[in-house]
Amino acid sequence: MKAWRVVVIALSFLLLSGCLVTFKEPLPTSEPAPKGLLGKWTSTNAWGEPLSLELTRVGDNRYQAVSYFRAKPKEREAYPFTVSRHGNRWYLSAKVPAQFGGHFTIAGFELTDKHELVVYNLDLEQINQALQQKALSGESFHTDEGAGVSIDSPVDEVSAYLDDPANSDVFVEAARFQRQAKAK
């Protein structure tokens, strides 16, 4: 599996069917990550492989995700990201690799009452509809991995679109992680 896909799975830029939505700018950081986000998480990816994820702080409102497959613990990938909160929603922004435009991806996330980390990806079809309706501006692109859309709307327009309750279906669940049990 390509290294960039690991972070996609880990942080929800899980490229459902190879689809990717990128933005020219990340969402601005407004406050620290929610309590309980940082730490060690586990999941199983779509191929049934156990995945580990470690989320740590690396600076003021800057974080890092280190992901690896439990079968290959020495093959780790580290990815920086930021978080922001708008209303009741939490978002993360991360830079995508240069071969995919080098822009930013945005995902939603929540910490559930069951102590799970649920990450939501943007639905490419919904974003394409937003482009057709002129709610957002941007253009399509294609890579060997699949279709994508690069959004060039100003960040305040992107935030307003994502925060609008009428657009809540723009997010689809991409990954669900459980807090890693502490070793005895």
Residue 154 included in any domain: yes
Q: What is the pLDDT of residues 91-103, one digit of tens each?
A: 999 988 776 677 8
Structural domains in the chain (count): 1
Q: What is the pLDDT of residues 6-20, one digit of tens each?
A: 444 444 333 333 467
Residue 184 included in any domain: no
pTM for the full predicted model: 0.82
Q: What is the pLDDT of residues 10-65, one digit of tens each?
A: 443 333 334 678 898 888 887 899 989 999 999 987 788 888 899 999 988 899 99
User: What is the phi/psi pair of residue 76, to 5°?
Assistant: -105, 145
Residue 56 included in any domain: yes
User: What is the phi/psi pair of residue 65, to 5°?
Assistant: -110, 125
Residue type, 75: E
Q: Containing domain of residue 161, as a range?
A: 3-179
Residue 164 included in any domain: yes
